[in-house]
A and B are shown apart, each in its own frame.
Chain A
Amino acid sequence: MSTVRNQAVLTAMQQGLHSCEGCGLLSRPASGGHEGRCPRCGHELTFRKQASLQRTWALLISAAICYIPANILPVLTTTTAAGAESDTILQGVVLLWSPTGWPLSLIVLIASVMIPLAKIAALAYLLISVQRGSVRNNEQRVRLYRIVEIVGRWSMVDVFVDTFTASLVQLQPLMAVEPASGLVFFAAVVVLTMLAALSFDPRLIWDPSSSKEVHYA
């Protein structure tokens, strides 16, 4: 469609209304106030998530820092009669690779190595584009945000693989598997990126476009 809608696009914020994140109720803050409480569910209200950009950046940078030791340090140590051997996430992927086991190996590679990295890159792109006041590709950017929200939890998979391998393979003195220090950093990456996605406010993507009077539909 290339028709020009001549009406202004109005957001709740432009009308001085709080849209509740908890229950969806629209309400008006007391005269001139910026903060308030939702009369229906009691949630603390602000126009946008508080300090969304700063918080998301802080969590994202922490995640990026933890991503390095998470991939360099071993996540599992296997002790057998022949000695101890430690594997990083990538070595685990390689070990799992076989003519029959390659699909699972691929899943671990995507979930543990690629998803966290893609998530960090995607959120950084969203943050930078919001800070530059970009008005382009809004639909794609909000779609990207939704994908980040949905896919993020799957990077937990390696935490569970290592947890249950370690708790099951306790066959001393034949063989014992224990977690190693990389797992802590890896778990931190997963949690930090999930928190970063939660603290980002997707409404910020649209704010620069909303302030324009004419909306091209």
Chain B
Amino acid sequence: MKKTPLVFSLVKEQSVFMTIVISAMTFLAVLALGIALSVGTGVARWNNEWNKYATVQIVNPENSASVKKILDTNKDKIEYVKEISKSEMEQMMQPWVSNGARLNNYLPQMFEIKVKNTSDIPVIKEQIASKAKFLKHSSALKTSISAGWKLVGITCLILSLILISIGVCVSYISRNIAMLHKHELEILNQVGATDKFIAHQMQIIVAKISSVACLIGFVLSVPVIAMILSTAHSARVGLLATLTLSGGNIIALILLPILIVIFSVYITKKTTIKILSRS
């Protein structure tokens, strides 16, 4: 059934203004959520991946045999063990110490391991800890991961601010509509309309405008999010390259404009009932 408000006619300028404001807000909200979700997914994947890697450093050569034995005993839990050769270590040290070969006598014996399950890491670590240094790769990268989560936090904060702004704008516009249609509101009151009924009339108007506005905002934000992800992937390595949106993320992005419409309609109801209760 076609929903048409009984009384209210919205002047063109006002409906255009409301459409532009909610479109812009929806655009920013979807963008903020898109960034938060892609960074969040990237960080989670990045963290999950490096959680399976660890480096074992045998500083005391006397413990070498016992560490190797422990690694052998846990063969079923380990996907691979790779001993890092002295030359590889020299190569790694080169950027900081020219001709890393001079450190030859000080370099520990090192193994890089990858376990099958993240839960195996603490088991192996407990066995090796007294004999060698056991460093989780994710611990070494925790600053990147922490920066990623902070970025998610900041974008969520921005998203909250945008949603608050939408609430304030819709409330302001609803108030304006009510003021503009004061005469009609009075007549509705006179013919026995309940506050709920009058609020419902306002909700129909706001639902129509915000649905169109949210659709515009969403459509505009999609190519921008795609551009951000494509630029991030062009970094090829590091956390940026892992930014992505899962199927669930895309559903969340589609749901956001729908939630904004519901939120706008709810705010309209609250505002109108508040105005009517004061009249």
Partners in one complex: no
**Which B residues fall within an 8 A CB radius of A?**
none
**Which A residues fall within an 8 A CB radius of B?**
none
